[in-house]
Amino acid sequence: MLDSLYEIHKNSTQNAPLSFKRYLFPHIDWKSRALCVLGARGVGKTTLLLQYYQEHYADVQKCLYLSCDNIQVVSTGLFNIAQKYFKYGGQALILDEVHTYPSWSREIKNIIDTYKDKQILMSGNSSIALEKGTADLSRRVATYSLKGLSFREYLTLVLKKDFKPYQLKEIIASHTRYASEITRGIPILKYFKDYLKKGYYPYFLEGEKTYTSKLLSSLEKVIAEDIPALFQVTPVKVNVLKKMLWLVAASQPFTPNIDGMSRDLHLSKEYVYHFLDYLEKGGLIRSVREKGKVAKMVRKPGKVYLENTNLIDVITGSLKLAGEVGSIRETFFANQLQDYPLFLHPRADFCIQSHLFEVGGKNKKDSSYDSHTLFAIDGQEIGAGRRIPLYLFGFLY
């Protein structure tokens, strides 16, 4: 049994890139006895774990990589594999995509409790895995969330040049200087346009021609495999999930009409809320609410965006729809600021902390807005005053 798993391990680990590490790598406490990296399919969770493997173990006799949807892993059982592997001197397991394995949280809990001197490294899809296994594992496992590539990381990979990340307050205070430094000798707007289409997922490193097909395949797996496995969604309801995602994609940003969606999808209002929640936890959409809404309205989002601009391109492209440039700008802004408390606001597009932000193109007029409103401007290399280049918000991580 172990010999065949060793062969799979070898094929999976030998090509892990080591030269570039994601923003999250130095923030993980790699000494943790059990940790889980959460994130949407395709953002690079596996690579992150394999980079640590190559640096710290680099030996199949010490650390074994397992893909939890592998038929041999499922048929043999995680605990049985761990039991045999540790018996022969193994020190750690990498359990990739744990949420795809039946009863994963119970077996991993048993492994952690039984083998207290061994390390367990895991990856899982977004917040789905954490939510479904949190009862027993939250006290035992350190969890980290990995986002897709920021524009800064994309530039680093494409240009093979290091760029510094900035905090939001630094961008607001010194954006002209930062933009001047970043754009020196670089056609920044050309790279930004490329990133919006094919830069959020590391798939582009394997060739741009296959980017769309790989992203569509990942999208299909989230809807047809990940969400049904974790929320007991039937095959019939999978088609409803796809229709719901289509509704969101076809009208960006999407303003939910729960009654209308319930009627059009032949779904109860309760299930409309549930399905929107499933799509968000699967890393496919992001809901943004109005600031100061009363408690009874908290559940209903003011607007729903696709999680990132690459999804707009791949979904609307496959449906032969034209993505609106304004929606693409707002989606990018909301995506890159997802670590900040982001709300809708009646006097601007977004409110973040004490700042109002309006997102638009170079022709956006300042005079139409409050004198304290900040502007995230597309198509502009270097800004001035309250007008900040939109691409700079891709340097937050």
Cβ neighbours around 167 below 10 Å, total = 11
State residue 330's pLDDT score.
96
State residue 320's pLDDT score.
58
288 with 342: CB under 8 angstroms?
A: yes
197 with 308: CB under 8 angstroms?
A: no
34 lies in some domain:
yes
Output the six-digit token pair for 358. Answer: 């309006």
Whether 117 and 185 share a structural domain: no
Whether 173 and 221 share a structural domain: yes
Whether 81 and 225 share a structural domain: no
38 lies in some domain:
yes
Whether 141 and 265 share a structural domain: no
Query: Cα torsion for 171, 172, 177, 183, to the nearest 10°?
Result: 50
336 lies in some domain:
yes
Note down pLDDT in tens along the chain; length 397 residues.
899 999 999 999 988 888 899 999 999 999 999 999 999 999 999 999 999 999 999 999 999 999 999 999 999 999 999 999 999 999 999 999 998 888 888 899 999 999 999 999 999 986 555 555 555 677 789 999 999 999 999 999 999 999 999 999 999 999 999 999 999 999 999 999 999 999 999 999 999 899 999 999 999 999 998 888 778 899 889 999 999 998 888 887 889 999 999 999 999 999 999 999 999 988 999 999 988 654 444 567 899 999 999 999 898 876 555 557 999 999 999 999 999 999 999 999 999 999 999 999 999 988 889 889 999 999 999 999 999 999 999 999 9
48 lies in some domain:
yes
Cβ neighbours around 54 below 10 Å, total = 15
Whether 244 and 97 share a structural domain: no
CA distance 374 to 388: 8
150 lies in some domain:
no
Whether 92 and 181 share a structural domain: no
393 with 376: CB under 8 angstroms?
A: yes
Whether 250 and 355 share a structural domain: yes
Count of structural domains, the chain:
2
Q: Residue with structure tokens 């004198």? A: 371
Q: 379 by DSSP, 3-state: which? A: coil
Whether 58 and 202 share a structural domain: no
Whether 120 and 250 share a structural domain: no
153 lies in some domain:
no
8 with 34: CB under 8 angstroms?
A: no
**Kind and range of the H or E element at 10?**
helix 2-13
CATH code (residue 67): 3.40.50.300
State residue 136's pLDDT score.
62
State residue 324's pLDDT score.
79
CATH code (residue 277): 1.10.10.10
Whether 127 and 179 share a structural domain: no
163 lies in some domain:
no
CA distances from 309 to 284, 285, 324, 363, 390 (A): 11, 11, 11, 22, 14
State residue 133's pLDDT score.
55
CA distances from 200 to 81, 230, 335 (A): 35, 25, 10
Strands 348-352 and 342-345: antiparallel
CA distance 48 to 141: 17
Output the six-digit token pair for 297. Answer: 């309205």
| pTM exceeds cut of 0.75 | yes
Strands 119-125 and 92-96: parallel
DSSP string, 174-239: HHHHHHHHHTTT--HHHHHHHHHHH-SSGGGGG-GGGHHHHHHHHHHHIIIIIHHHHH---HHHHH
331 with 391: CB under 8 angstroms?
A: no
Domain boundary among 81, 113, 145: 145
Check residue 384 and report its DSSP letter. Answer: B
Whether 136 and 268 share a structural domain: no
CA distances from 43 to 12, 105, 148, 158 (A): 17, 23, 5, 16
162 lies in some domain:
no
Output the six-digit token pair for 203. Answer: 């798939």
Whether 271 and 304 share a structural domain: yes
Shortest CA distance to 41 belongs to which of 163, 196, 201, 165? 201
Domain, as residue range, for 391 = 168-395
